[in-house]
A and B are shown apart, each in its own frame.
Chain A
Amino acid sequence: MKLAAILIGGILVNNFVLARFLGLCPFFGVSRQVETALGMSMAVVFVMTLASFITWLVQNLVLVPLHLEYLQTAAFILVIAALVQFVETVLRKTAPNLYTALGIYLPLITTNCAVLGVALLSVQQRYGLVEAVLNGMAGGVGWSLAILLFAGIRERLALSDIPPAMRGWPIAFISASLMAIAFFGFQGLFKEFFLR
């Protein structure tokens, strides 16, 4: 039950973009077309799941036994940067097709705060390994859901007649605001299902 709560909570109720404000720069930066948004979201789900796994190991097998918890921020960001580099190299050697699809998005992920954010949140919640990995995956899927819906909206916005002052960034933020209101509806659903 707890695992289901983490999964649904991460995807819908505490959506990374619309409720927790994590990973906003790529959310606004690469959402102009559905196709690029799809590439970015696959890369994010992949890296967030893997990063949650590795950072959990670093936290519980290295930092805690050595009483180095204060190095958490520095250690996590270095691990994530190295992981992204490693994934990029491995993909280029073993899966060139996947690499050409995801390649340009991978370097951007190092500075995606959703990746570091999910690792820090899992530590804060004292999750076990399975829960942490699931939390990372749910976060990634939730982020992807939001950016794909948003890219669909922005493709239509590009064709609409918008007042000159609101073109570009302002209308994008206001669309995101309306999406956040829509996602608020899931808050009630969660209570119905899990807190009974």
Chain B
Amino acid sequence: MLRDFWNGILRENPVFGLVLGLCPTLAVTTAMENGLWMGLAVIFVLTCSNALISLLAPVIPSRVRIPCFIVVIATFVTLVDMTMHAFIPAMYQILGIFIPLIVVNCIILGRAEAFASRKPFLNSVADGLGMGVGFTGALMLIGGIRELLGTGAITMFGHRILALGEGYPPALSFILPPGAFLTMGLILGAFNALGNYRASRARSRRHAFRGGQAGRSRDS
């Protein structure tokens, strides 16, 4: 179960690993705080829908399962939509139509179909939480980079938590749409480079190990 939780955060991170749910990932990440709230909304919807779907899956006929999943997801999205509208209207304005659009976020339907409909209740909850947290982390990373480079500082809940100083002229384009695609491309490229570096180091270490063994056998 713990493995199901960590799976979504690291190995199968929905944004950087599976490259799913791109629309909100790029659209709302003009600031770190926006990413956090969007992520929280997705954590709630994903965990609840995973939980309910894993309970309902045995009684849903498989031919109509997709519409049933969509109704379950839409219910929780409507709850989030109304709650955010009532309690954090400013953030609701910023996130705009991307709150109701959580319904068509491929991560949520994807997890319902690939995981929750086949696995036990607790595993499904763990998977939903893990995927949600992984999604939130990815959004905050992208939002943080864009906000830092685009405005010169990161502001969370009214506090400035990181600033580049007076010498940095803010690059506005990072807040605008092209910056979203660019940031995402560079982050994915950096992860690829890291993966390639690790793979090549693992390979050379294996070679070194074998070489050492060979040397020792020759000595004896």
A residues whose Cβ falls under 8 Å from a Cβ of B: 18-25, 28, 70-74, 77-78, 81, 110-113, 116-117, 120-121, 124, 164-174, 176-178, 180-181, 184
Query: Which label, helix, strand, loop or mixed, suits the secondary structure of the A interface?
Result: helix
Q: In the complex the two chains form, is A21's CB within 8 Å of B70's CB?
A: no
Q: A21-B23, A21-B177, A74-B78 are in contact. Are A165 and B103 (CB under 8 A)?
A: no
Q: In the complex the two chains form, is A116's CB within 8 Å of B22's CB?
A: no
CA distance A170 to B184 in the complex (A): 7
Q: In the complex the two chains form, is A116's CB within 8 Å of B100's CB?
A: yes
CA distance A77 to B20 in the complex (A): 19
Q: Please give the distance in Å from A117's CB to the nearest CB on chain B.
A: 6
Q: In the complex the two chains form, is B27's CB within 8 Å of A174's CB?
A: no
Q: In the complex the two chains form, is A24's CB within 8 Å of B23's CB?
A: yes
Which one of B20, B77, B182 lies within 8 Å of A25 (CB-CB)?
Answer: B20
Q: In the complex the two chains form, is A169's CB within 8 Å of B188's CB?
A: yes
Q: Please give the distance in Å from B82's CB to the nearest CB on chain A.
A: 7
Stretch of B31-39, B131-139, B158-166, B189-197 contacting A (4+ beta carbons < 8 Å): B189-197
Q: In the complex the two chains form, is B104's CB within 8 Å of A74's CB?
A: no
Residues of B contacting A121 in the complex (Cβ-Cβ under 8 angstroms): 97
CA distance A184 to B180 in the complex (A): 14
Q: In the complex the two chains form, is A81's CB within 8 Å of B185's CB?
A: no
Q: In the complex the two chains form, is B185's CB within 8 Å of A170's CB?
A: yes
CA distance A173 to B185 in the complex (A): 5
Beyond the given pairs A70-B78, A113-B23, A181-B173, 8 more chain A to chain B contacts, judged by CB atoms under 8 angstroms and listed by A's residue number, are A25-B21, A25-B22, A28-B22, A74-B75, A81-B70, A117-B97, A169-B188, A184-B177
CA distance A70 to B77 in the complex (A): 11
Contact with A along B36-79 (1 / 0, CB 8 A): 00000000000000000000000000000011001100110110
Residues of A contacting B70 in the complex (Cβ-Cβ under 8 angstroms): 77-78, 81
CA distance A165 to B20 in the complex (A): 20
